Each structure stands twice: as structure tokens, then as C-alpha cells.
Structure 1
Amino acid sequence: MIMLLSPEQPIRDESAIVMALFKRGLSLFHIRKYRFTDTEMMAYVNNIDHFYRKQLVLHSHFHLANELGIERLHIREEDRKQHKQEAFMTGFTLSTSVHAISTFNTLDAIWDYAFLSPVFPSISKKGYGITDTVLDDLCLRCNSDVRLVGLGGINELNYTEVFTAGADAIALLGAVWNSPKPIQVFDKINNNNFSPN
């Protein structure tokens, strides 16, 4: 399973690229547009074909989810610690983020999956993960109730290592959006994806 996170800054033809990737097998698209107004978020989502609505995940603007027909919400780590997910435990599929395998192992089954990062040094956030990555910690996983999604620095050259280490899925960000040929990068990973999911 391959997921994609939106870029924080606008990319030319962003919606068209997302739809092209859905057609090529993208599983889920995480919308991280924290600075959008409600109107901007509505327009952004409506620029993606309604056929893919159930594959969209909101990181913010949760009050628009029902109106937009979005059933998946991502609760950031700091919000999870404040138990903000409790307002959305009915009617939504929830995911979250963690930065240590020990934290992942304590998550309960209300979470469909969790991002564990950084697996490798980040592509989009320069300097992040240079000295502290979590790839080698995946072998310490003991939580089978929540799917583990590797995030951070994953590209067409190293993604197989993440599956081999025990991740259920991967999430892409910089490898796609920082590339002049984002669709080709996705195709290379997707066409060779040996994950059983």
C-alpha cells in the first residue's frame, strides 16, 4: 500500500497529479493544508474527482468532513496527546503519527494506521532525521492492532527496505513533490511494490 501526503506549498497541476496517481494505484492521499481557509479547502477537495473522495484524508478542517463526504481523518501526535480524537470516534476512520516505535506499540485499535517517522533522513525537511531515524526500530514492533506506515525520506531507491523491515505500507512526500517527474517516481515504486497489502 502506498500513500501520498500533499505538499505544504502549492505545486503546479497538483490536483491533476493526484488524480493521475489515483488512476495508477495510489491508496490514500493525505491533505495537509493547515493554512487553508474553509473556502480554499473546499475548492481544493472539489478539484479532485469525487470518485476518489473515500481515499482522501483530512489533517485539518475536520468540521468540513461531512459536507465534503470525507470519512478519514488524521490526528496529529500533539492532538492525540490531548485526546482530540475522542470527538471523531464515530463515523470516521482515524490515523495518527508517532516518532518512536515504543509509542506505536502503545496505540490502541481505534487507529487504522499510524505514520512512524522518520524512516530515513527527510527529503522535504532538510536536516530532519539526519541523526535519528527509526528504520532499525521496526523489528521492535509488537502492536498488531494498528497498521504501521513508514514515512520520511522514502524514495524509489530505498522503499523496499521499509517493507523488508516490517512496515505494512509506505507514505511518500518529498520523493514525489520535489521531483520534476512525480508520476514517473510513483510508477517506479508502485510497479515494483512487493508489499502483500
Structure 2
Amino acid sequence: MIVLIAPEEDVSNEIDILNRLFEEGLEYYHLRKPNKDYQQYCDYLDLIEEKYHNKIVVHHHHELVNTFNLKGIHFQEQKRRDNIDNPGQYFLNLSMYGKTISSSFHEPEELEACDFEFDYHLLSPVFSSISKIGYEGRGFNVNHIDKRIIGMGGVTKNNLSEIQKLGFQGVGVLGGIWNSKTPIEDFKAMQEFYRNTRL
């Protein structure tokens, strides 16, 4: 499983690259643009071919699921802590039928202790970040946790087998694609790895 995270700031040719990645089979695109407001999120989504909207998970403005045919919503760590104790209230006005719900974690213990059943969990940083300076990898081993955990932080096409050995069932990638001179080829190499390992 490959989760591609949006670059925080827009990059040149971003939508073109994204549509090509969707063409190549990208199934999980996490739209995380903390500096964009609701309307800017809508404008961004309108630039993406509508047939790919059901592969997009939003980190902010969760109410977008009521307007666009999105894949799901994602809770960043603080938002999860603030809202998931009373999920019934939070989801009351969201059209969540058939949608995924995921969340970010930075401590394996907190992830393991979380009672809410997320579809998958992003845990970071596994390795030192490519996109964030000073974000040191911690080499988490999650083989003992019986949940669907996706490893993030320093992910490239070259360290997927190491991440798999640590017990992760997929990767969240940001800098490994957006900072690459060959993002499409690198994504295809990652796809090939997971196709061959059947996870």
C-alpha cells in the first residue's frame, strides 16, 4: 500500500504529475495543504480529473466529503485527540458512508492503545525525513501491533524492504516522490515492490 502525501506548498507541474500518478495506479492521495482555506481546497480538487476524486483523502476541511466524491478523511494527531473521544458527534454532519478514516501517530504506544478503529494508521518518522529538516528517524518496529500501520518519514524506492521488515504494511511518501527528478518512475518502482510482495 502506497500513500502519497501532498507537498505542503504547491510545486510546479504538481497537478500534471498527480494525474499521471493516478493513471499509473495511485490509490491513496492524502491532500494536506495546511495553508489553503476551504475554497482553495475546492479549487485544487477541481483541477484534478473527477474520475480520480475517489482516491483522495483530505486532512483539512473534512466537510468536503459532502461535496466531492472523495476516498475519505484523515485526522492529524491533535485533531484526533480533540475529537475522536466523541466520534458520533464529529461525524454527525459528514457523509461518511463507504469512506476511509485514518490518522497520524508519532508514538507506537499511543497507536496501539487507540480504541477507535481506523482503516489505517500513519506512523512517523521511521527514517529521517527528506522533506523536513531535523526530523530524525526512529526506526519503529511495529511487528507486535495487530493494526494496519503505514510507515512514514524518509521513504524512498530504495528502503521499502527495510520498512517491511519493521512490520509496516505500506508506506507514506512525500519527499521521496515530490523531491525526485523522476517521480513517475520512482512511484512505479515502489508499486512493483509491493506487487511482488503481495501486501
Same fold by TM (over 0.5)? yes
SS at match of 1:64: helix
2:142 is the counterpart of 1:138: yes
Listed as ranges, the matches of 1:94-105 within 5 Å are 94-105=101-112
SS at match of 2:130: coil
Q: What are structure 1's unaligned runs of at least 5 residues?
A: none
2:164 is the counterpart of 1:157: no
Listed as ranges, the matches of 1:25-36 within 5 Å are 25-36=25-36
2:23 is the counterpart of 1:16: no
Q: Which is worse superposed, 2-11 or 88-97?
A: 88-97
SS at match of 2:157: coil
Q: Which is worse superposed, 120-129 or 44-53?
A: 44-53
Listed as ranges, the matches of 1:104-119 within 5 Å are 104-119=111-126
**8 A Cα contact 1:150 1:169, kept in partner:** yes
What do the CA deviations read for 1:122-181 (whole angstroms, capped 9, x no partner)? 00001101xx5133x223x33x3x310000101011112111221111111001111122
**8 A Cα contact 1:117 1:134, kept in partner:** no
Instruction: Give the alignment partner of residue 91 of structure 2, picking from 70, 88, 94.
Output: 88
Q: CA deviation at 1:109?
A: 4.9
- In structure 2, give the amino acid aligned to 1:10: D
Q: CA deviation at 1:28?
A: 0.2
C-alpha distance in structure 1 between counterparts of 2:183 and 2:164, whole Å: 21
C-alpha distance in structure 1 between counterparts of 2:110 and 2:198, whole Å: 25
State, as a whole percentage, how many aligned pairs show the same letter: 31
**8 A Cα contact 1:4 1:172, kept in partner:** yes
What do the CA deviations read for 1:49-82 (whole angstroms, capped 9, x no partner)? 1111111000001122211222400001111111
Q: Which is worse superposed, 119-128 or 59-68?
A: 59-68
C-alpha distance in structure 2 between counterparts of 1:180 and 1:12, whole Å: 12
C-alpha distance in structure 1 between counterparts of 2:42 and 2:135, whole Å: 31
RMSD between aligned residues:
1.8
C-alpha distance in structure 2 between counterparts of 1:30 and 1:195, whole Å: 23
Moved over 4 A (4+): none
SS at match of 1:94: strand
C-alpha distance in structure 2 between counterparts of 1:108 and 1:21, whole Å: 34
C-alpha distance in structure 2 between counterparts of 1:22 and 1:163, whole Å: 24
C-alpha distance in structure 1 between counterparts of 2:197 and 2:76, whole Å: 26
Q: CA deviation at 1:101?
A: 1.4
- In structure 2, give the amino acid aligned to 1:119: V
Q: CA deviation at 1:3?
A: 1.1
- In structure 2, give the amino acid aligned to 1:27: E
SS at match of 1:138: coil
C-alpha distance in structure 2 between counterparts of 1:168 and 1:121, whole Å: 19
2:132 is the counterpart of 1:125: yes
C-alpha distance in structure 2 between counterparts of 1:96 and 1:28, whole Å: 14
Provide the aligned length of Structure 1 versus Structure 2: 191
